[in-house]
Structure 1
């Protein structure tokens, strides 16, 4: 389970080879050497009493790429297995190391293992368990980040109304963590606080509270001595948001602390409407792309170009993937997001940590296998190179009509288009497809052959291959407009019998006759996928959730428009009367 995210901002090569590639990459943009570090204007504050680590902070953070989060585990509430993941084993870190990861972030929630009153003692058993897990990761040669995680909203958020007690508890927590790990190697890093947030405050007020905590964290750790005297410390912005105001404030904090062994940390979960599929944000469109490029431009211009290392402690899409529910972000659109994210991070010289909540997302903690190999392969590929994509990963052919040529727009992303393949067989340019600029057209003859007997669903999958990176899969899909039926339900939701007929749901729009938005999202007519509505493909149904139906006005008919990926739309009417809900077609 992810903590609250501010809406504006979740190989086969040996380690020497990967590290050399990474260092070569960032060196080309002038970010890795200590000479470049100093030349960029960052004051070198090392003294005779504080020897410089073998590598400078920029080098060390660069060597942490790529990174991974042990999410929903030691940060779970109240215990390690409470959120569905098995206990951590050393084999997990063995797997991560073998998969090319060079560091791990181990989020830790201390609240339920700590006295809530002074002296705020942390349970010895819990501290020992955290240390055991950290030591396993360190023993695998991984760099490790530990922090104070969901405590951010459990008690730290009360700082505006309970300032002195929160500050005292925060200091006591870090005093105990610092003492336990005082002699751990410098490959262990500390992070002040996850996604800092404060109840009932403006951003300006929150920035001040966050600065106070970051300063207290720095003081406590540095005064604890041992390896903590020069250990790299991660300081978050408010909300770990990469907005300009938050970044500028963090730079000021770091300057005032006069300590070269500091690292900035932010998170990135994408343009919010796209990340959760709300307000019509179904595609990784120009707006979503600009949000990403602007975020990394700010990070580069404000931090990395000036010699301040950045560890992007969490990235992904909110609630994606979640193999317990239908995907709220279409597969091809998600692949485009992760492909560009990897590129933007590399160009900005940023180390990135994939947020992985566990078994139902990326790495199955029980089997230690990736739940979606193709998705993780796209993420891995983005660490080192770009891949070509296209405007869609599907070509929809209506079964009720004749097959005609279809055109997609290629996005080469700096690569060269090399052709189309079906398995090991190359399609023939001119006969099966044509290319004009970046417009790829599949001929009617080729589509007729690929569609075969035209059963509903995916009939064939072909690949667009490029000069480097991964191929782009295109699924030739037969469909007809879905058919919905009348239904009755109640405050527990409405199940609408649905014949999907090969199509897939993109989003749902809901309005009242007066033009007002219907449903819990009152700022857009397009409701949130899986929160207000959800397709049940195996069950041949569309589900309107309790959250949606209970947000409807009583005795006011709402018109729903279901938008499908083929471009088809279906209109449906829903009325709530007391505890009864009825749905009718058209």
Structure 2
């Protein structure tokens, strides 16, 4: 428990040594350098998870020798990280879905290969610092099994075999910290209970449980109208963290959230609206602390620049870093919209104080005047019409001014003051492979899109919901003045069946549009 507490916070070196190609650069990241690890350490991270995929570097049965150059490269990176003072976790990573998953129908061969890898790793690293941690397998999964009972049996066999091999190898491995996952690294109660049974049987005080957490799925990928960090998203998080705390931490078994983030981040961090994203990470860091869970941020290169050593989204990282030690105040939105076609009126936001107290509202280094520029009544922060008139200035479309609400702890909450008008969409004709709706955004920002046929049934992918997946079915292209409808959307749209699209914007505006697909041709008209 003490060691795992000392591992907080952690970071994943994703999409490098875990790539399924023949080289660590196969998935687009540069070769790992000591300077990268030095700079990650300087951000405040105390542990680093180095996922490793072995499949492309194995010889044949029965010994499945690991290519010497590759094992030496992994050891080199591990040693750099240990020299930086990190706790370091290595594992068997994408092998989980490449070949480990065939265990239900190929048990003997899978187990032999798995055991051969861990036998070699245990030997290679048995003299390494006790700060090196082994994780048995990433996101274990099985194809063609008879169901939950067999899955649990197979994972138990992998985890206990791993434990036996490492412990029997001697050296520092006799007491090395070993990390065991649930099936799919899921925090569902049944999966947690299955892993707890394994822990009880092994009765080893140097074991750690691990699950992954990417949030409530509709919010995590922005589908089905999951645009906001609301009570449902929050409860999904608290339920998950409560389950692993009550099963493991309360029994003295530490837990590592071995990966966390939002699934939409695999595309880019703009899939989820900035303010809603910040609220998610603020709360996640807070609740993990209260439940004594160590967290490891999943970073496949989209967060910390691997050669420039800077954060792609500094505001996001500032919120994450703050959440390691304290709470931050937030608000119902990070945007205040005023329509240019209307007179400017006062606007109210609800503050989420999160145990802090409101200190000031500032534009740069200048404090706005309470009572003149804004009022505060309980948790209701109201910007006056006079202040907004000044802040909007010439009322150009887009962000006219940026304010920050400061609280007694944590990071300030940014508030953009935005001028907009109702977006205007125009007709278009193109193909299913390259269809864009000409759009005058007029300062507004797209939140989500609904798609329905004339009879009211849902159109397009995920047809159980009218709300389509952001950046998969559709995406705004602000620089190009268009909304792109992706080939993935049209692939699941009926031929010659008009679809009514409803675009929801963050200002509250809704704009409808009609598209009809005929083969590979698409015609779009204003509705």
Scaled by the length of structure 1, the TM-score of the pair is: 0.88
Aligned to 1:409, which of 350, 354, 358? 350
For residue 3 of structure 1, what is the aligned residue in structure 2? none
Quote the Cα distance in structure 1 between the aligned partners of 2:457 and 2:221.
22
For residue 556 of structure 1, what is the aligned residue in structure 2? 497
Quote the Cα distance in structure 1 between the aligned partners of 2:8 and 2:200.
25
Residue by residue over 1:530-557, the C-alpha shift from the partner in whole angstroms, topping out at 9 and shown as x without a partner, is 1100111101111010111111111111
Quote the Cα distance in structure 2 between the aligned partners of 1:160 and 1:300.
31
For residue 207 of structure 1, what is the aligned residue in structure 2? 152
Alignment check: 8 A CA contact 1:321 1:362 kept: no
For residue 565 of structure 1, what is the aligned residue in structure 2? 506
Aligned to 1:138, which of 74, 82, 86? 82
For residue 76 of structure 1, what is the aligned residue in structure 2? 19
For residue 139 of structure 2, what is the aligned residue in structure 1? 195
SS across alignment from 2:483: strand
For residue 242 of structure 1, what is the aligned residue in structure 2? 187
Aligned to 1:334, which of 251, 272, 277? 277
Matched, 1:374 2:319: no
Quote the Cα distance in structure 2 between the aligned partners of 1:116 and 1:414.
59
User: After superposition, where does 1:74-473 map in structure 2 within 5 Å?
Assistant: 74-78=17-21, 79-115=23-59, 117-201=61-145, 202-320=147-265, 322-323=267-268, 327-358=270-301, 361-473=302-414
Quote the Cα distance in structure 2 between the aligned partners of 1:332 and 1:203.
39
Matched, 1:474 2:415: yes
**How much does 1:203 deviate?**
3.4
Quote the Cα distance in structure 1 between the aligned partners of 2:478 and 2:443.
10
**How much does 1:271 deviate?**
0.5
Unaligned runs of 5+ in 1: 1-57
SS across alignment from 1:420: strand
Change (3 A) 1:184 1:222: same
Quote the Cα distance in structure 2 between the aligned partners of 1:556 and 1:493.
19
Alignment check: 8 A CA contact 2:418 2:443 kept: yes
SS across alignment from 2:88: strand
For residue 490 of structure 1, what is the aligned residue in structure 2? 431
Quote the Cα distance in structure 1 between the aligned partners of 2:426 and 2:60.
55
Quote the Cα distance in structure 1 between the aligned partners of 2:56 and 2:272.
34
Quote the Cα distance in structure 2 between the aligned partners of 1:159 and 1:452.
66
SS across alignment from 1:364: coil
**How much does 1:87 deviate?**
0.3
For residue 16 of structure 1, what is the aligned residue in structure 2? none
Quote the Cα distance in structure 1 between the aligned partners of 2:115 and 2:83.
29
Unaligned runs of 5+ in 2: none
**How much does 1:117 deviate?**
3.8
**How much does 1:119 deviate?**
2.3
Quote the Cα distance in structure 1 between the aligned partners of 2:289 and 2:516.
51
SS across alignment from 1:363: coil
Quote the Cα distance in structure 1 between the aligned partners of 2:317 and 2:187.
25
**How much does 1:115 deviate?**
2.7
Change (3 A) 1:321 1:567: farther
SS across alignment from 1:464: strand
SS across alignment from 1:319: helix
Quote the Cα distance in structure 1 between the aligned partners of 2:322 and 2:368.
25
Quote the Cα distance in structure 2 between the aligned partners of 1:87 and 1:487.
44
Residue by residue over 1:102-137, the C-alpha shift from the partner in whole angstroms, topping out at 9 and shown as x without a partner, is 110000000111135432221111101000000000
Alignment check: 8 A CA contact 1:493 1:549 kept: no
**How much does 1:322 deviate?**
4.7
SS across alignment from 1:370: coil
**How much does 1:76 deviate?**
1.0
**How much does 1:160 deviate?**
1.3
Quote the Cα distance in structure 2 between the aligned partners of 1:367 and 1:127.
27
Higher relative contact order, structure no. (Cα contacts within 8 Å, ≥ 6 residues apart) = 1
Matched, 1:60 2:3: yes
Alignment check: 8 A CA contact 1:321 1:327 kept: no
SS across alignment from 2:372: coil
Quote the Cα distance in structure 2 between the aligned partners of 1:206 and 1:408.
49
For residue 583 of structure 1, what is the aligned residue in structure 2? 524
Kindly report the root-mean-square deviation, in angstroms, between the aligned alpha carbons of the 2 structures. Answer: 1.1
Quote the Cα distance in structure 1 between the aligned partners of 2:119 and 2:322.
40
Scaled by the length of structure 2, the TM-score of the pair is: 0.98
Alignment check: 8 A CA contact 2:503 2:511 kept: yes
Q: Give the paired residue count.
A: 525
Residue by residue over 1:281-304, the C-alpha shift from the partner in whole angstroms, topping out at 9 and shown as x without a partner, is 000011001111111111221111
Quote the Cα distance in structure 2 between the aligned partners of 1:391 and 1:222.
51
Change (3 A) 1:146 1:439: same
